[in-house]
Amino acid sequence: MSAESIIDALVAADDERPRTKAGFGVSGLGGCARKAYHQMRHDDPANPSVKRLPAILGTAIHAALEKAADRLPNALAEVALFVEEVELAGTADLIRGGVLDDYKTTTLKNLRWIKSHGPSRNHRWQVMTYAYAWNAEQPGPRGQEKPLIHMVRLIYIPRDGDESDVLVWEEDYDEAVALEAIEWAASARRAVADEAPPAPEKHFSYCANWCQFYGLCPGLDTSDALEEVDDPWLADAAEGLLVAQEDIREAEGRKEGAKDALDGFTGIVGDFRVTWQRHRYGYYPKVTRIRGGGDER
């Protein structure tokens, strides 16, 4: 069986999954405002080329986690919640004793960033808004039957990692963050009522792979007027990429200088053995540390 036929079968099975009509839900908070606009209007998808596999794998992992939740005492799994003010539905993955968990499947390289910089605005708004909806549904401090949420956790599970790579990010529940997210949703609802679609927010190369409304919406091109966005997490990512690119350029320069200095040398020097290996465009020095530990380069 070819990879294509396996993927076709996975997509067909996913299409048969019972699901609510795709509209805008809590999971879309803080994402692309134009996408929220189309989802709130229940516009038909326009892009048949959306990549499906990561979401299908995420669904499979969620199903396993939901089953496993049966073994956790006093845990509620897959809790349907609703934010009345902006008519937003969503499903929290797990609620246990005042702690609300949301699972996120991701990759190891994405995890490295989250470990050092925390979750995206979208993930944080989502989990805080679930907690807000849950707390709003409880009768109140006196008559309350179930504990109010006081802590939210995002549990990141890398598809390409193992148990030791799972990252738990936790934070005290902060109603102000949830209200910020709810105001964002209210503004998207106003745009729908005014029939005023927000400007596209993502580059078209991203949209072509990941947005069902690409086609209906053109996405952004670099020649379009660019909006200024207030998102410290994204600003950190932009700076991180720039610094990493400068480091790579600097390391490339050091590498070429060292290579020139070794020109033709073959033998053992200091703690290193130097030989030459054929590469695509000629020979390149191969340095192996033979004393003092460390990796071969």
Give me the 56-95 binding string for ligand SF4, x by CB under 6 A, dash otherwise. Answer: ----------------------------------------
- Least distance from ligand SF4 to the Cβ atom of residue 55, Å: 15
Give me the 129-168 binding string for ligand SF4, x by CB under 6 A, dash otherwise. Answer: ----------------------------------------
Choose the binding region for ligand SF4 from 32-40, 79-87, 124-132, 288-296 (rule: CB under 6 A): 32-40
Q: Which is nearer to ligand SF4, 35 or 124 (CB)?
A: 35
- Least distance from ligand SF4 to the Cβ atom of residue 204, Å: 7
**Using the rule CB under 6 A, which residue among 25, 35, 100, 120 binds ligand SF4?**
35
Q: Does 214 bind ligand SF4 (CB under 6 A)?
A: yes
Q: Does 207 bind ligand SF4 (CB under 6 A)?
A: yes
Strands (E), the chain: 75-83, 88-96, 99-106, 151-158, 167-172, 267-269, 272-279, 282-289
What are the distances in angstroms from CA 213 to CA 34, 126, 144, 243?
A: 9, 22, 42, 34
Element (H, E) at 33: helix 33-40
Cβ atoms within 10 Å, residue 104:
23
Q: Which is nearer to ligand SF4, 27 or 135 (CB)?
A: 27
* 151 phi, psi to nearest 5 deg: -145, 140
Q: Name residue 127's amino acid.
A: V
Site for ligand SF4 in 215-234 (CB under 6 A): 217, 219
Q: Does 182 bind ligand SF4 (CB under 6 A)?
A: no
Cα-based torsion angle of the residue sequence 243, 248, 249, 252 in order, rounded to the nearest 10 degrees: 160
What angle (nearest 5°) sits at the alpha carbon of residue 42, between those of residues 40 and 48? Answer: 120
Strand partners, 272: 269, 289
Distance from C-alpha of 150 to C-alpha of 135, rounded to nearest angstrom: 9
Choose the binding region for ligand SF4 from 76-84, 85-93, 205-213, 238-246 (rule: CB under 6 A): 205-213
Choose the binding region for ligand SF4 from 58-66, 93-101, 209-217, 240-248 (rule: CB under 6 A): 209-217
Strand partners, 25: 89
**Using the rule CB under 6 A, which residue among 4, 24, 34, 137 binds ligand SF4?**
34
- Token reading at 176: 């102000």
Site size toward ligand SF4 (CB under 6 A) is: 13
Site for ligand SF4 in 93-112 (CB under 6 A): none
b (16+ CB within 10 A) / e for 185-213: beebbebbeeeeebebbbebeebbebbbb
Q: Does 32 bind ligand SF4 (CB under 6 A)?
A: yes
C-alpha neighbours within 13 Å on the C-beta side of residue 139? 5
Choose the binding region for ligand SF4 from 94-102, 199-207, 233-241, 268-276 (rule: CB under 6 A): 199-207
Which positions lie near ligand SF4, rule CB under 6 A? 32, 34-35, 38, 200-202, 207, 211, 213-214, 217, 219
